[in-house]
């Protein structure tokens, strides 16, 4: 935000584009920590709360909308600033995605009726290379790889070698990865859910549950939703809900931290800091942008 405000002061119109897979959902204003009007400070924000929770927003779905927004902003002479921690979204936007055809419904039903052990054994026979890099209990990835090879006759790896739609080679990109001190980050994770409860997270989940959506939808599995749903169902008390949500948040933050430290290109600057109060980290970003 400080970077956007500084650029605005310099006469550059900027728009912040959301790249967080929870903040895309209209139903999760509190639990996704979607920025409020006050927090936006007059800077236009897009792709926040854009999807209804009844519709799953996949990485290709988001990337398609982000490409449209970026093209429009460039045509207007505006600068898009992507903010968010969903690495798959960013990778899909920049690198493209494998053009895997629609899976045949009968094959999808057949594969998803298998136990994870059966599916993994079948994948080991039909796409051994993919099976060797997956954990034997990784149900979602095993199922996906198996249904792809059975439906298309090509392995997922073959399809991924044909990625299309990425804009990474067509735009000038200045990136900055924020890597906060881990223990301080985890302490903030522990406090995060308590603050959300004060801002109406329970009411938000009550409204979401009243819609009767498929529990497999991403919006229903967002951090905080299962924990509060269990509280409302009487499966555990508030203290247990807070403990579960804090642990889920820490686990996610750890995965996110590891991904952004290791997966993006080596020339993307990693900015390590331990002070969440001062603007030091934003000043570093601004200096980097000024140099580039």
On whether both 184 and 284 belong to a single domain, the answer is: yes
Counting Cβ atoms within 10 Å, is residue 145 exposed (0-12), middle (13-18) or buried (19+)?
Answer: buried
Phi/psi at 71 (nearest 5 deg)?
Answer: -65, -45
Instruction: Identify the domain containing residue 140 by its residue range.
Output: 105-160
Q: In this structure, are 135 and 191 located in the same domain?
A: no
Other beta carbons within 10 angstroms of residue 154's beta carbon come to: 16
**Does 33 lie in the same domain as 142?**
no
**109: CATH:** 1.10.20.140
Q: Are residues 232 and 90 in the same domain?
A: yes
Is 173 found in the same domain as 124? no
pLDDT mean values, one per 10 residues, the chain (292 residues): 85 95 97 95 96 95 96 96 92 92 94 95 97 93 96 95 91 90 89 93 98 94 97 97 95 91 91 63 43 38
Same domain, residue pair 186 and 156: no
Do 51 and 138 fall within a single domain? no
Helix (H, G, I), strand (E, B) or coil at 172: coil
Last residue of a domain, one of 132, 160, 188: 160
Q: 113 and 73 in one domain?
A: no
Q: Are residues 56 and 171 in the same domain?
A: yes
- The domain tally of the chain equals 2
177 and 87 share a domain?
Answer: yes
Task: List the beta strands (DSSP E) in the chain.
Answer: 14-18, 44-46, 79-83, 177-180, 270-273
For residues 48 and 133, membership in a common domain is answered with no
Considering the domain architecture, whether residues 9 and 85 belong to the same structural domain is answered as yes
Cα 265 to Cα 31, 268, 281, distances in angstroms: 30, 6, 20
> Could you report the per-residue pLDDT of 139-176, keeping only the tens digit for each?
989 999 999 999 999 999 999 888 899 999 999 998 98
Per residue in 7-48, pLDDT (tens digit) is: 888 999 999 999 999 999 999 999 999 999 999 999 999 999
With 0.85 as the threshold, say if the pTM is over it.
no
Domain final residue, candidates 160, 180, 199? 160
CATH number at 271 reads 3.40.50.300
Domain stop point among 141, 160, 179: 160
């Amino acid at each position: 935000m400080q970077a956007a405000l500084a650029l605005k002061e310099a006469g550059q119109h900027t728009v912040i584009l959301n790249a967080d897979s929870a903040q895309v959902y209209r139903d999760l204003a509190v639990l996704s920590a979607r920025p409020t009007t006050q927090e936006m400070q007059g800077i236009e924000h897009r792709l926040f709360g854009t999807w209804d929770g009844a519709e799953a927003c996949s990485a290709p779905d988001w990337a398609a909308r982000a490409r449209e927004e970026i093209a429009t902003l460039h045509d207007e002479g505006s600068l898009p600033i992507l903010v968010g921690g969903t690495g798959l979204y960013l990778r899909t936007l920049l690198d493209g995605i494998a053009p895997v055809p629609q899976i045949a419904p009968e094959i999808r039903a057949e594969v998803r009726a298998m136990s994870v052990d059966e599916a993994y054994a079948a994948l080991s026979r039909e796409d051994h290379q993919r099976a060797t890099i997956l954990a034997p209990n990784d149900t979602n990835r095993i199922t996906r790889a198996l249904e792809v090879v059975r439906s298309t006759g090509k392995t997922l790896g073959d399809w991924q070698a044909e990625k299309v739609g990425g804009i990474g080679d067509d735009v000038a990109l200045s990136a900055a990865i924020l890597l906060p001190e881990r223990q301080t980050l985890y302490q903030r994770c522990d406090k995060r859910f308590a603050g959300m409860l004060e801002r109406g997270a329970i009411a938000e989940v009550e409204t979401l549950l009243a819609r009767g959506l498929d529990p497999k939808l991403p919006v229903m599995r967002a951090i905080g939703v299962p924990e509060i749903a269990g509280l409302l169902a009487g499966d555990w008390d508030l203290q247990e809900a807070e403990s579960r949500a804090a642990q889920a948040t820490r686990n996610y933050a750890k995965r996110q931290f590891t991904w952004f430290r290791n997966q993006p290109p080596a020339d993307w600057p990693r900015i390590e800091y331990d002070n969440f109060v001062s603007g030091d980290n934003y000043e570093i970003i601004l200096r980097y942008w000024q140099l580039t």
